[in-house]
């Protein structure tokens, strides 16, 4: 190949921009985007020629520019199909929102709202008034507040109430939640002084009592969320911790993380701490996430004593950690499902937890039948779903999986991830596993098309 003559075949930028196909692209893209695209595809072509390749055909340029522009303007945050069976999958955006929450987003966020407007008085209101009443009604707490996430909730509580003061925590509760979020780091960053109490596996009431001094401002209990300890283990009950804290005039902060508002044991799972119970047991402040077992948008929910929550609301960091109208709209609608006693029916996380083995099996068998029509042989096998999201470690929900054999399962799984919407599944030996429990009904059709397409390539 004569490199010099290939270079000479490349059009000048102006020439390229005047080509008929490129002029047509001008309906979708602006002048400067087109120029960027022309530069980019010309640079690509030069690189190919430098490697001994040929210049592209005259007709190929508009398509190349179109592809470059589509890539450059692509939205990176996209929906995916979660066929992993992990219900609260942190990497996949945790809780899918309920229809009620989506409708609230649409209603409130498409226009103006009374976010900080008091409709009765016709003047300034507070965003903290939204969701507050529902949180109080659901948890039995005196007061409630919403911030950006549970990490922010913990940070705000400590910054507002424990700066330069001692906070006692059991050594068994100095946990890393995931994504590098470590309770001791947040504590230090807030300005509170961490006082470790007890040992990794055993902490007694007397350990707390021995560590309480005039410098102590709080005892903090942290839910171990993503692991559990067995064997020679002990930790005081929350009720006993509250008694000790209050007898010394310090507050009890309970960081629950997942924060269930419903009892998980009714689904054959272990008991996840319930927010209402912490309040009943006397915790002064309870912090939990909006997008774990609550099943709503990312948020940090703080419930507890009114005098304390008032201090949090008035702290300068409250503004930095506050939530926007999108979050409040989705959260209020999610909480409304609980208030109306309709959480299991309306909130996807609870629908998925509550889905009976028979329901899951029927869906898996339906998928199997549909795929058989496309010439794909798959089986339905017993397996396990998990709740995820730093809740119920080691606990599983029996499920039925669609198992599709593949010659090269890694390659098929990769191909599935490149689709739109991408499909995320599990691999076990030489099978791809798809768990119906976490696949939203509206995603069934694209899922089956994706599986059929990718397995046809595998043959």
Ligand X SMILES: *Cc1c(COP(=O)(O)O)cnc(C)c1O
CB 223 within 8 Å of CB 183: no
Q: Which stretch binds ligand X (CB under 6 A): 147-155, 396-404, 424-432, 449-457?
A: 147-155
CB 398 within 8 Å of CB 348: no
Rounded-to-integer distance, Cα 45 and Cα 36, Å: 14
Q: Which stretch binds ligand X (CB under 6 A): 110-118, 129-137, 208-216, 253-261?
A: 253-261
The yes or no reply on residue 190 touching ligand X (CB under 6 A) is no
Binding residue (CB under 6 A) for ligand X from 217, 277, 289, 370:
289
Rounded-to-integer distance, Cα 368 and Cα 291, Å: 32
The yes or no reply on residue 177 touching ligand X (CB under 6 A) is yes
Helices assigned H by DSSP within 123-272: 132-139, 150-161, 183-190, 205-211, 238-247
The yes or no reply on residue 443 touching ligand X (CB under 6 A) is no
Applying CB under 6 A, what is the total number of residues that bind ligand X?
A: 15
Binding mask 291-310 for ligand X (x = CB under 6 A): ---------x----------
Rounded-to-integer distance, Cα 129 and Cα 28, Å: 44
Backbone angles phi, psi at 238, to 5 degrees: -60, -40
Q: Closest residue (Cβ) to ligand X?
A: 257
Q: How far is the CB of 315 from ligand X (least distance, A)?
A: 18
Sites for ligand X among residues 390-429 (CB under 6 A): 390
Which pair of tokens denotes residue 183? 């309770």
The yes or no reply on residue 172 touching ligand X (CB under 6 A) is no
Binding mask 255-274 for ligand X (x = CB under 6 A): x-xx----------------
Q: How far is the CB of 154 from ligand X (least distance, A)?
A: 6
User: Which residues have a Cβ under 8 Å from the Cβ of 88 and sit 6 or more positions away?
Assistant: 94, 95, 291, 292, 293, 349, 387, 388, 389, 390, 391
Binding mask 201-230 for ligand X (x = CB under 6 A): ---------------------xx-x-----
Which pair of tokens denotes residue 434? 């798809």
Q: How far is the CB of 105 from ligand X (least distance, A)?
A: 19
Backbone angles phi, psi at 259, to 5 degrees: 55, 75
Per CB under 6 A, residues contacting ligand X are 149-151, 154, 177, 181, 222-223, 225, 255, 257-258, 289, 300, 390
């Amino acid at each position: 190949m004569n490199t010099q003559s290939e270079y000479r075949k490349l059009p000048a930028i102006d020439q390229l921009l005047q080509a008929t196909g490129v002029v047509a692209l001008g309906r979708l893209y602006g002048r400067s985007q087109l120029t960027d695209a022309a530069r980019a595809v010309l640079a690509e072509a030069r690189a190919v020629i430098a490697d001994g390749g040929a210049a592209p055909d005259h007709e190929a340029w508009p398509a190349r520019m179109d592809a470059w522009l589509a890539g450059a303007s692509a939205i990176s945050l996209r929906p995916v199909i979660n066929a992993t069976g992990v219900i609260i999958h942190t990497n996949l955006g945790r809780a899918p929102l309920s229809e009620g929450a989506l409708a609230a987003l649409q209603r409130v966020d498409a226009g103006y709202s009374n976010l900080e407007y008091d409709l009765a008085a016709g003047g300034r209101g507070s965003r903290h008034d939204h969701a507050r009443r529902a949180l109080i009604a659901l948890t039995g707490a005196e007061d409630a507040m919403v911030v950006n996430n549970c990490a922010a909730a913990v940070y705000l509580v400590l910054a507002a109430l424990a700066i330069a003061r001692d906070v006692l925590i059991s050594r068994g509760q100095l946990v890393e939640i995931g994504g590098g979020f470590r309770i001791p780091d947040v504590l230090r960053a807030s300005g509170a002084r961490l006082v470790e109490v007890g040992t990794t596996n055993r902490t007694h009431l007397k350990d707390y009592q021995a560590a309480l001094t005039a410098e102590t401002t709080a005892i903090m209990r942290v839910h171990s969320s993503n692991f559990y300890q067995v064997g020679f283990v002990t930790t005081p009950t929350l009720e006993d911790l509250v008694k000790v804290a209050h007898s010394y005039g310090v507050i009890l902060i309970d960081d629950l993380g997942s924060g269930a508002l419903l009892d998980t044991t009714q689904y054959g799972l272990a008991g996840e701490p319930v927010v209402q119970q912490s309040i009943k047991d006397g915790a002064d402040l309870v912090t939990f996430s909006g997008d774990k077992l609550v099943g709503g948008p990312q948020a940090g929910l703080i419930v507890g004593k009114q005098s304390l929550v008032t201090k949090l609301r008035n702290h300068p960091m409250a503004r930095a950690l506050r939530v926007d109208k999108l979050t409040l709209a989705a959260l209020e609608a999610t909480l409304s499902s609980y208030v109306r006693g309709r959480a299991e029916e309306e909130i996807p996380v609870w629908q998925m937890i509550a889905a009976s083995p028979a329901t899951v099996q029927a869906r898996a068998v339906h998928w199997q039948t549909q795929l058989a029509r496309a010439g794909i042989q798959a089986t339905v096998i017993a397996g396990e779903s998990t709740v995820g999201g730093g809740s119920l470690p080691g606990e599983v929900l029996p499920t039925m999986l669609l198992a599709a054999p593949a010659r090269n399962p890694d390659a098929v799984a990769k191909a599935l991830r490149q689709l739109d919407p991408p499909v995320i599944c599990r691999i076990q030996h030489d099978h791809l596993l798809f768990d119906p429990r976490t696949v939203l009904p509206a995603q069934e059709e694209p899922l089956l098309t994706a599986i059929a397409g990718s397995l046809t390539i595998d043959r």
